[in-house]
Amino acid sequence: MDKPKTSPKGFTNEDARRALVDGLNQDLANEYQAVIMYQTYAAMVKGPFRQELAAFFRAEIPDELGHAAYLADKIVAFGGTPTTRPSDVPMVQDPHGMLEEILKAERLAIQGYTERLQQAEKAGEIGPRVQLENQITDETNHLEEVQKMLAGWYEPAPGENRLPAGSARR
Ligand SMILES: [Fe+2]
Ligand SMILES: [Fe+2]
């Protein structure tokens, strides 16, 4: 990759800048995934808790879109090109499986922003610190809500099928 003609302000180390931009692009792909995942699961979720879950999923979308907007802006400011490809969205049919996938995605987001904080510091760029910390707070709140929903979730006994037809787990 060519070096940018002018080094973006604040960077003291070119390798560290590139590592930060690559990491932010992975985070961006994951944020786009989160938007699509919440939208898709809100449409697909079935069962007695459909209305609550669909409303919860839809309510997360603005946060994730805001995160994506911030990341795309910073990637350009740091001399990169924002990805247009989301990470793959796991397709699951049942509400419990959806919440498990969301839990994984939120954990990954927290891990990503924690790494990005360290990479930004290494690159000599303290500008994104507070926003990355705020995004960790948002994702932690999402994670904790989903953990509470999953706590004590009723699991059918072996052989018992309480799920409506067509919504059984794969
Ligand atoms: Fe997010
Ligand atoms: Fe989130």
Q: Report pLDDT digits (tens) over 64-113.
A: 999 999 999 999 999 999 999 999 999 999 999 999 999 999 999 999 99
Max alpha carbon distance in the chain (Å)? 65
**What is the Å distance from ligand 2's center to 138 Cα?**
6
Q: From the CA of 152, how far away is ligand 1's center (Å)?
A: 26
**Average pLDDT of the residues of the chain:** 90
- Ligand nearest 105 Cα, by number? 2
Region 39-45 average pLDDT? 98
- pTM of structure: 0.85
Handedness of CA 15, 126, 29, 144 (dihedral sign): positive
Q: Which residues surround ligand 2, an ion (CB under 5 A)?
A: 106, 139, 142
The residue-averaged pLDDT of 128-155 equals 93
Q: How far, in Å, from the CA of 46 to the mean position of ligand 2?
A: 22
Give per-residue pLDDT as tens, 5-35: 445 666 778 899 999 999 999 999 999 999 9
Say which residue the tokens 């922003």 belong to: 113
Report how far residue 155's alpha carbon sits from residue 158's, in angstroms, rounded to the nearest whole number: 9
13-150 fold: Ferritin (1.20.1260)
27-36, 41-50, 122-131, 153-162: which has the minimum mean pLDDT? 153-162
